[in-house]
Amino acid sequence: MSTFLRGYSNLGGESGQAGSSPLLIDEDLFVYIVERYDGFSRLVEQFTAVEERAQYISRHTHEINLRGLDMLANQMNLGKIHRRTQTVNGLYEATIVLLAGEANRLIRDEA
């Protein structure tokens, strides 16, 4: 910016030398500087807003991922319980068949 200001032809103080007195600039340069700074400040504000939204989304994504992991762990536990239940049901059915066979044998022996 200082290089631009030094090379700008409408700069100069009362003595005509840039930098030796208070700076006088024309309206076009003032508008250019204000627009440039205003655009930069809006860009910084938008960047800050995007960064805040990204942090918000990141926190909530982390929470959702943790919930998803909890649900997955619950599903894994349910799968284990289901397999054990099938095993116990198989043993129960086999025991019932054996008991029925034994009861049938005892009834035949008594008859």
Q: Where are the alpha helices (DSSP H) in the chain?
A: 2-7, 27-110
Question: Which residue type is seen at 101?
Answer: G
Candidates 26, 1, 2, 32; CA nearest to 12 is: 26
18 and 11 Cβ atoms separated by less than 8 Å? yes
pTM for the whole structure: 0.42
What are the pLDDT digits (tens) for 25-69? 777 777 777 777 777 777 788 888 899 999 999 888 888 888 888
Reply yes or no on whether the pLDDT at 77 is more than 80.
Answer: yes
Cα–Cα distances (Å) from 11 to 4, 33, 37, 48, in that order, read 10, 14, 19, 35
